[in-house]
């Protein structure tokens, strides 16, 4: 560690020292870049950090600052318009006023978070406006160069993108100089521009804190704090077309195959350590009943004892419509699916209210809603920019539509095999993204009118049970409609004869898009060793598909409750899962699973925080 008051200095990578060079604006000499320089660049890029902690008060040398700005000014730009400007702020009074603006936005953001997430957020340092000796505001002028700037006609936002290139050059050059940079995004742009007295046509692209630091952290600060994880490169590279993943020169990647390969059995050693610890806690052995068993399972999932607390938690509500609705299996109209999605997005559905009570985040995934879903507020800022619904998605909605509802499974397969695979991968990616963003427990949710019919067909197919035993009343249908629903399930199974040894084939024949996505969601959680709480019969049906694809995935599933739907009990028995709650629930949405969340979290907390007899000085039971 560098001692306080000393600077890490320029990045020295033997046998070269990286130092930016001010290139003449008139004559540019060819630059020879050899292996040493190439290696040095990649090391600098890998060592760059978004710095929030550890700035030193020492002034930044003017020559070094000029070199850093010169590097920024050499960035590529649309039509060589160089739309950026750099406003350097050193005055402490000015920075104090700006820091107050950032603090207001920080608190406004915290108010939008579920309370466990807000608590963790308030413990984070997110800016160093006062600690760093130099602040730099990078602006973009979309009018620079006049009307006919090459490359800006079709994409007027290219001016801002160009300014971001300048920011990246600045950041790399600063790291090479041994200077830390922190990007502050907790500003309302219009408030900031007004406070700085900027001309009205300018856009603020970045507010940067710059200065010497005591040390550069070995990893991003948000990773080290546990707030987020880094996303692997392999998730982000698509070859030829979207979704065709694979690193250059490597074999094409399969998201499903990679996920299945990453799932390992729960850790038996961690489970045994948890059992041993339960016996040492200041309570009679077994006195917490199933809570103790649950804590052992959580330790096995995580591979450590005690396990990490399963918080913050996120509920993913996967929504899709069903072609079998045309068979009259429910009195509810199909448009209710889209209407309920709007209810979720307004945070006024049952799952939202319970999630707010227990501190869980709710996101909605449109994997197959037949209707167009409501768009959010228009966030476009320039003329000629796309104003379609995909550009203005409502907050909290993930638009991942595979198709507009399934086909009628009594007439044809509900979806193609390729569509089933695509929906599974939607679920895998949703799990990955939520965990990468910091969630430590995932919860299943669902929405789709007629989805209990597809659930019954899936459960019957995977368990070999007669449809009459696993088909429930869903939203509360009468005897006549229930008998018809059983017949519909039977006819679909007779038509397709799905093979439970082919889980994707079963999903394609009689499943729903939300079932397929939920199956992927469960697999994604298992691959990341994160517990996932099942809701009712829809999640149970999806769990059968997930476990058919990877038997070890069952070790990461927690049954949130026992639904009154008969197929749910049959599934829990098949999977060997004991429900946390049994409250005669049958709503869906994720409501029962979210209700179980505090119990699951308590199981982990008890194992972690309750004192042992030795540590508390309490006498144990006499033999």
Please state, as a whole number, how many other Cβ atoms lie within 10 Å of the Cβ of residue 180. Answer: 30
Q: Are 40 and 113 in contact (CB under 8 A)?
A: no
CA distance 519 to 263: 14
CA–CA separation, 400 and 368 (whole Å): 8
Q: Which percentage of the chain shows pLDDT scores above 70? A: 91
The pLDDT score that the predictor gives to residue 621 is: 64
The larger pLDDT score, comparing residue 243 to residue 314, is at 314
Q: Which residues pair with 581 in a beta bridge?
A: 561
Return the higher-pLDDT residue of 244 and 491: 491
Query: How many Cα atoms sit within 13 Å of 7 on the Cβ side?
Result: 19
Whether 399 and 499 share a structural domain = yes
Nearest to 514 by CA among 397, 423, 435: 423
Contacts for 384-391: CB closer than 8 Å, 24+ residues apart: 384/154, 384/155, 384/156, 385/156, 385/157
Note whether residue 469 is domain-resident. Answer: yes
- Same-domain pairing of 184 and 320: no
Containing H/E element for 569? Answer: helix 566-575
Domain count, the chain: 2
Q: How many CA atoms lie within 13 A of 145 on its CB side?
A: 20
- The three state secondary structure string of 387-441 is CCHHHCECCCEEECCCCCCCCCCCCCCCCCHHHHHHHHHHHHHHHHHHHHCCCCE
In this predicted structure, the answer to whether residue 248 has a pLDDT above a threshold of 50 is yes
The predicted pLDDT at position 17 comes to 40
Question: Is residue 553 over pLDDT 70?
Answer: yes
CA distance 448 to 455: 11
Q: Which residues contact 133 (CB under 8 A, 6 or more apart)?
A: 55, 57, 58, 59, 60, 90, 210, 211
pLDDT above 70: residue 330:
yes
Answer yes or no: is pLDDT of 539 > 90: yes
pLDDT of residue 388: 39
Residue 315: domain span: 310-374+393-598
Q: How confident is the model at residue 11 (pLDDT cuts 50, 70, 90)?
A: very low
Answer with the one of 207, 227, 247 that is the final residue of a domain. Answer: 227
Is the model's pLDDT at 18 over the cut of 50?
Answer: no
Distance CA 185, CA 409 (A): 49
Instruction: Give the domain CATH number at 157.
Output: 3.40.109.10
Reported as a single tens digit per residue, the pLDDT across 88-107 is: 999 999 999 999 999 999 99
Residue 232 lies in a domain: no
Together in a domain, 220 and 353: no
Most confident of 3-17, 335-349, 369-383: 335-349
In a domain, 170, yes or no: yes
- Say whether both 322 and 413 belong to one domain: yes
Task: Give the residue-averaged pLDDT of 300-321.
Answer: 97
Examine the domain organization and report whether 215 and 316 are in the same domain: no
Instruction: Looking at the structure, tell me whether residues 195 and 319 fall in a common domain.
Output: no
Q: pLDDT grade, residue 615 (50/70/90)?
A: confident
CB atoms near residue 119 (< 10 Å): 14
Cβ neighbour number for residue 298 with a 10 Å cutoff = 30
Per the CB < 8 A criterion, the answer to whether 518 and 511 are in contact is no
User: What string of DSSP letters covers 300-364?
Assistant: HHHTSSSPPP--SEEEEEEEE--GGGGG---SS-TTHHHHHHHHHHTT-SHHHHHHHHHTEEEEE
**19 lies in the same domain as 161:** yes
Q: Are residues 203 and 140 in contact, defined by beta-carbon separation less than 8 angstroms?
A: yes
Mean of pLDDT over the chain: 91
Q: What is the pLDDT of residue 351?
A: 97
Catalytic site positions: 589
What digits encode the pLDDT tens for the residues 103-129?
999 999 999 989 888 888 888 889 999
Are residues 219 and 352 located together in one domain of the fold? no
Q: Please tell me what DSSP assigns to residue 500.
A: T
Any domain includes 254: no
Q: Does residue 337 contact residue 447 with C-beta atoms inside 8 Å? A: yes
Cβ atoms of 143 and 201 closer than 8 Å: yes
Do 219 and 314 belong together in one domain?
no
Choose from 31-35, 379-383, 386-390, 493-497 the range with maximum mean pLDDT.
493-497
Angle CA 442–450–509, to nearest 5: 85
Domain termination site, one of 195, 227, 259: 227
Question: What does the pLDDT look like over 571-595, one tens digit per residue?
Answer: 999 999 999 999 999 999 999 999 9
CB contact at 8 A, 474 and 453? yes
Report CA dihedral (380, 384, 385, 389) to the nearest 10 degrees.
Answer: 90
Residue 610, in any domain of the structure? no
Task: Answer yes or no: do 320 and 460 share one domain.
Answer: yes
Picking from 198, 192, 183, the residue whose alpha carbon sits closest to that of residue 100 is 192
As a whole number of angstroms, the distance between CA 535 and CA 586 comes to 9
161 and 19 part of one domain: yes
Asked if residue 544 is part of any domain, the answer here is yes
Say whether pLDDT at 7 is over 60.
no
Cα 288 to Cα 279, 298, 515, distances in angstroms: 11, 15, 34
**Mean pLDDT value across residues 599-618:** 92
Within 10 angstroms of residue 478's Cβ, the number of other Cβ atoms is: 10
Q: Do both 319 and 223 map to the same domain? A: no
Q: How far is CA 284 from CA 291, 300, 574, in A?
A: 13, 22, 32
Position 279 in a domain = no
**Where is the domain boundary, 174, 193, 227?**
227
First to last CA, the chain: 52
Q: Would you say residue 382 has pLDDT above 50?
A: no
Model pLDDT, residue 14 = 37
pLDDT score of 234: 84
C-alpha span between 83 and 321 (Å, rounded): 47
Instruction: Provide the pLDDT confidence category of residue 203 given band limits of 50, 70 and 90.
Output: very high
**Contact, 165 vs 75, CB < 8 A?**
yes
CATH number of the domain where residue 472 is located: 3.40.50.10210
Quick check: 363 pLDDT over 80? yes
Q: Is the pLDDT of residue 13 over 50?
A: no
Residue 365: per-residue pLDDT: 97
Q: Give the distance, in angstroms, between the CA of residue 43 and the centroid of all CA atoms in the same chain.
A: 28
Find the angle CA(10)-CA(11)-CA(17) to the nearest 5 degrees: 85
CA–CA gap between residue 528 and residue 427 (Å, rounded): 13
Q: Report whether pLDDT(428) > 80.
A: yes
> Is residue 182 included in any domain, yes or no?
yes
Model pLDDT, residue 395: 81
Higher per-residue confidence, 262 vs 230: 262
Coil, strand, or helix at residue 112? coil
State the maximum Cα–Cα separation within the chain, in Å, rounded to a whole number: 90
pLDDT 10s digits, 263-289: 999 999 999 999 999 999 999 999 999
d(CA 37, CA 47): 15
pLDDT of 394: 74
């Amino acid at each position: 560690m560098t001692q306080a008051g000393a600077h890490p200095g320029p990045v020295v990578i033997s046998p070269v020292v990286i130092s930016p060079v001010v290139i003449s604006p008139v004559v540019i000499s060819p630059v020879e870049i050899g292996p040493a320089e190439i290696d040095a660049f990649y090391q600098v890029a890998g060592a760059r950090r978004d710095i929030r902690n550890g700035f030193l008060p020492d002034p930044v040398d003017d020559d070094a600052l000029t070199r850093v700005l010169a590097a920024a000014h050499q960035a590529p730009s649309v039509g060589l318009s160089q739309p950026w400007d750099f406003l350097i702020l050193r005055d402490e009074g000015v920075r104090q006023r700006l820091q107050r603006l950032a603090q207001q936005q920080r608190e406004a953001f915290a108010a939008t978070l579920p309370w466990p997430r807000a608590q963790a957020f308030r413990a984070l340092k997110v800016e160093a406006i006062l600690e760093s000796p130099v602040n730099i505001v990078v602006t973009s002028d979309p009018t620079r160069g006049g009307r006919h700037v090459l490359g800006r006609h079709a994409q007027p936002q290219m001016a801002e993108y160009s300014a971001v290139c300048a920011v990246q050059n600045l950041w790399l050059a600063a790291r090479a100089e041994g200077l830390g940079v922190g990007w502050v995004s907790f500003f309302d742009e219009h408030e900031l521009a007004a406070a700085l007295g900027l001309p009205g046509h300018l856009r603020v692209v970045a507010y940067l804190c710059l200065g010497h630091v005591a040390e550069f952290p070995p990893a991003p600060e948000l990773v080290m704090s546990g707030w987020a994880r880094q996303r692997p490169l392999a998730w982000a590279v698509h070859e030829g077309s979207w979704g065709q993943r694979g690193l250059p020169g490597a074999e094409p990647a399969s998201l499903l195959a990679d996920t299945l390969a990453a799932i390992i059995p729960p850790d038996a050693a961690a489970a045994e350590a948890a059992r041993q610890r339960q016996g040492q806690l200041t309570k009679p052995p077994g006195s917490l009943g199933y809570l103790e068993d649950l804590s052992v399972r959580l330790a096995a999932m995580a591979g450590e004892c005690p396990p990490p607390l399963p918080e913050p938690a996120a509920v993913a509500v996967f929504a899709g419509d069903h072609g079998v609705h045309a068979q009259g299996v429910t009195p509810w109209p199909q448009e209710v699916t889209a209407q309920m999605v709007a209810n979720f997005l307004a945070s006024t559905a049952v799952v939202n209210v319970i999630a707010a009570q227990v501190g869980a985040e709710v996101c909605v995934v449109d994997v197959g809603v037949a209707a167009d879903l409501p768009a959010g507020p228009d966030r476009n800022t320039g003329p000629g920019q796309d104003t379609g619904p995909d550009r203005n998605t409502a907050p909290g909605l993930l638009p991942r539509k595979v198709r507009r509802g399934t086909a009628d499974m009594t007439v044809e397969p509900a979806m193609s095999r390729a569509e089933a695979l695509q929906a599974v991968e939607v679920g895998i990616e949703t799990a990955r993204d939520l965990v990468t963003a910091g969630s430590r427990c995932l919860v299943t949710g669902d929405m789709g009118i007629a989805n209990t019919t597809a659930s019954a067909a899936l459960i019957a197919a995977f368990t070999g049970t007669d449809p009459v035993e696993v088909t429930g009343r869903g939203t509360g249908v009468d005897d006549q409609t229930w008998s018809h629903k059983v017949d519909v399930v039977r006819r679909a199974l007779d038509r397709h004869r799905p093979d439970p040894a082919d889980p994707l084939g079963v999903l394609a024949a009689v499943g729903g898009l939300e079932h397929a996505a939920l199956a992927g969601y469960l697999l994604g959680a298992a691959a990341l060793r994160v517990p996932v709480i099942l809701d009712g019969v829809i999640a149970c049906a999806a769990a059968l598909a997930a476990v058919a694809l990877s038997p070890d995935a069952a070790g990461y599933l927690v049954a949130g409750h026992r639904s009154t739907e008969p197929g749910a009990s049959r599934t829990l028995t098949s999977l060997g899962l004991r429900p946390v709650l049994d409250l005669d629930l049958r709503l869906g949405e994720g409501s029962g699973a979210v209700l179980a969340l505090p119990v699951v979290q308590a199981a982990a907390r008890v194992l972690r925080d309750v004192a042992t007899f030795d540590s508390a000085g309490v006498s144990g039971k006499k033999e």
